[in-house]
Amino acid sequence: MTREEWLRLSAILGAGAMIPNELHAAFADGEIKRSDFGKDFLWGTATAAYQIEGAWNVDGKSPSVWDHMAHKRPGKIKTRENGDIACDFYHRYEQDIELMKKMGIPIFRFSLAWTRILPDGTGKVNQAGIDFYNKVIDKCIKEGVEPWITCYHWDLPQTLEDKGGWSNRDSIQWFEEFVDVSTKAFGDRVKNWMVFNEPMAFTMLGYMLGWHAPGKVNFKKFYKSVHHVTMSHGAGGRVIRKNVKNANVGTTFSCSSVETLKHNKANDKAVTRADVMINRLFVEPILGMGYPVKDLPALKHVIKHMQPGDEEKMKFDFDFIGVQNYTRIVVKSLLLVPMIGAINVAPKKLGHDITEMNWEVYPEGIYKVIKKFAAYPNIPKLIVTENGAAFKDELVNGEINDTKRVQFLKDYLGQVLKAKKEGVNLGGYFIWSFLDNFEWAEGYRPRFGIVGVDFATQQRIVKASGKWYSEFLAGK
């Protein structure tokens, strides 16, 4: 059976259809090619400011919530490490962008550190921060690597968190100002913008569970932050539209296929509630559907923070939606769990490989979430703006032969292609991440990069996955 025959058959069989072992082998042997995705399909890698830049207090930059938590509450980081130096991209951006060019990577997605540009969160602009990102953008253009900017990737200025952070309704105006300054500074050369990276992650992990900065465990702050961040999608998007001529405006969401191993009434309802939290909470109000309170009654606590006119302002006509997938979530009912009444089934019980993040390797999951988002009425183009895996890498004779990551990327790309062949308006795929980096509360242990980093020497080593991606992009 050819790949095309399998794709046609799997479209009939549905989302749960598994790729036969012989086709896994065919994919592994390189049967999928860049050309299969079409000449206009976009390819790139993604990073985030706090995870790679370092220079945490250099040239006028003030502390972000992550600087503050890593320094003041180091126990929140499993390894008690911080992003003070990270990959030292602040000083090494030229060589890293030159390496991207050498590897043939067409697009570099990176975020802006709010605290470099507006150290107080609002007010006076830090010219040194503007200058840094101008140099990064100009270097990208010089090397033929297209810059794509994410406005916000989790590093709120600590000065603003001291005023309540995203739980303060003023955060909408703070964010508008940050996006306004940034787009006026860089919009003449950068046309592709993402408003947020994974809002569920920094609201839930930051304000409800306390695992990520600012490390709060406060349900009221969580509910408020959900609404203010939802509002900020449209607020930021409208600023980009106003300031950037011919802008391509998107935002990104973390997405996971939510399933249960044993179907019954209780478990199926648990799947629905968990799906709202993980996949639906932000995208539906942005699409004009309102908050999905019917399927998750706890969202009534979000609704009460709405003011007159908010429902209309939540909507925004994005040019694309970024879907970001790493694994699936398998749940069962447990009504003792607040809000969602569900608990995760341990990934080790699911019978598949597990990554260094304790995430199940489940390629079919990316197909399922792409199809799920594509089914929304009036959904714009979808782009896979993050996909990747952390495995235990070993440096042997100067090489990192990360075969598991290579296979992961091939298998997931097979599912992306399957969705595209079935007619999904799918426009691109970005690997997370270009470099090994500071992986938030996990520290430096999990390594996602297709380029390895020796954090003691800052040496870069292109892994087997990076070499494979280069060959794939070159059509070899």
> Distance between CA atoms of 142 and 44, rounded to whole angstroms?
17
Q: How many other CB atoms sit within 10 Å of the CB of residue 235?
A: 20
Q: Which residues contact 371 (CB under 8 A, 6 or more apart)?
A: 15, 419, 422, 424
Catalytic residues: 198, 386
> Distance between CA atoms of 125 and 344, rounded to whole angstroms?
44
Residues 409 and 388: beta-carbon distance below 8 Å: yes
Per-residue DSSP letter, 78? T
Q: Is 342 exposed, middle or buried (0-12, 13-18, 19+ CB in 10 A)?
A: buried
> Distance between CA atoms of 303 and 311, rounded to whole angstroms?
10
Count of helix runs (H) and strand runs (E) in the chain: 18, 15
Q: Of all helices (H) and strands (E), which one includes residue 126?
A: none
Q: Which residues contact 373 (CB under 8 A, 6 or more apart)?
A: 255, 279, 283, 321, 323, 379, 382
Question: In this structure, what are the phi and psi dihedrals at residue 254, rounded to the nearest 5 degrees?
Answer: -75, 135
